């Protein structure tokens, strides 16, 4: 069994400003992207589709209080992360 990667993601600096429009936790976005990528999805629309198709499973370990992030949100947030992180 692989170790849970979420503790590593807790150390990431969220590149977004603190506003009321910040609906999705950085850790949720990173975990969705990681899981979808490991399952062979390689574009943002596909990653969003994966998340919707597997939402019940994702909710077993992610809170997702505002549902699944859009492909635009996934792309924007991942694209802004510091590469070395």
Q: pTM for this one? A: 0.92
> Going residue by residue through the chain (85 aa), what tens digit of pLDDT does each one get?
778 888 888 889 999 988 878 999 999 999 999 999 999 999 999 999 999 999 999 999 999 999 999 999 999 999 999 988 7
Q: Label each residue of the chain as H, E or C.
A: CCCCCHHHHCCCCCCCCCCCCCCCCHHHHHHHHHHHHHCCCCCHHHHHHHHHHCHHHHCCCCCCCCCCCCHHHHHHHHHHCCCCC
């Amino acid at each position: 069994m692989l170790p849970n990667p979420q503790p590593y993601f807790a150390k990431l600096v969220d590149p977004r400003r603190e506003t009321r429009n910040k609906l999705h936790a950085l850790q949720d976005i990173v975990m969705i992207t990681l899981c979808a990528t490991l399952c062979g999805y390689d574009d943002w629309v596909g990653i969003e589709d994966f998340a919707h198709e597997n939402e019940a499973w994702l909710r077993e370990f992610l809170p997702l209080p505002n549902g699944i992030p859009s492909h635009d949100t996934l792309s924007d947030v991942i694209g802004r992360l510091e590469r070395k992180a």
